[in-house]
Amino acid sequence: MYQVPDQHGKLAVVTGANSGTGKEAAKRLAGAGAHVVLAVRTPTKGEQAREEILAAHPGAQVEVRRLDLADLASVHELVDGLASDGRPLDLLLNNAGVMNVPQRTETADGFELQLGSNFLGPFALTVRLLPLLLAAPAPRVATMSSGTANRARIDFSDLQGTRSYSPTRAYAQSKLADMLMMLHLADLAAERGWPLLSAGAHPGYTRTNLMTSGPSLNGGRPGLLESLLYKIVPSQGPEQGAEPLLYAATSPDAEVGGYYGPRWAMVGPTKPTSLPRSAQDKAVAARLWTEAEQLTDVSLPPQEL
């Protein structure tokens, strides 16, 4: 099992920290001494997760703050609250997401739900938090993607799936967008001389409620093939599935623009993983970043930061 290095004195924000890989990552960071913010859509569930973490690590520093990535107003509220605290942010773990929503659904801001929750919300959160991150001595942004992104492409002609919507295609595109965001942020940090490490991860086939919550939205349910795959494909628990993200966020061996996942693709200990060719196109990454800035009305901090 990956041992998280000492995190005393560090502030970490983990999105989607009330369950699954997010809760496990938050638990391990808290256990290593970090002050952890559980950024969750439903505070009552966040409080339950906080109590579980404190039961395992009495005296840990854990707090709950509301964050709905499908609502940019909520993103701004969280960032404004953290900024008013005035404390530098050492770690941002972009973990939260939604998967395979059966019918096209929109966020509070009119974005397709999977693109909005999985990419545009995290993009706005990351960019708006950059001043706090860059106030820390060695900040990191670790972003969770998915193996399904390997089969995706960014469809700029129908980014929001208004003409043609497929639950699996929309999910895969949103997770490829996360990869491209992670890599473009790494390039920006190098260009601007920021001491920020941006890296990514995927959890393999990890058993969490992500597999069922998305397909169950709007009265839907997982299809027969999905239900069968859940039973026969090798899988692992959140304890193992969270490790690639924790590695990207905390390992001294993690590299700028590095991508980490299970050794055997679906399961296993963490190892460096090759990025798909579609994630290595810097022109696409730059175009997507500009598109995200326009859609979210969020842009980079001044050059001097």
DSSP state, 217? Answer: G
**How many other C-beta atoms lie within 10 A of the C-beta of residue 158?**
12
What are the catalytic residues? 171
Would you tell me the crossing angle of helices 43-56 and 20-31 to the nearest 10 degrees? 40
What 3-state class would DSSP assign to 94?
strand
Residues 6 or more apart from 206 whose CB is under 8 A from it? 20, 21, 235, 236, 237, 238, 240, 241, 242
The DSSP line for 273-291 is -PPPGGG--HHHHHHHHHH
**C-beta of residue 129 within 8 angstroms of C-beta of residue 82:** yes
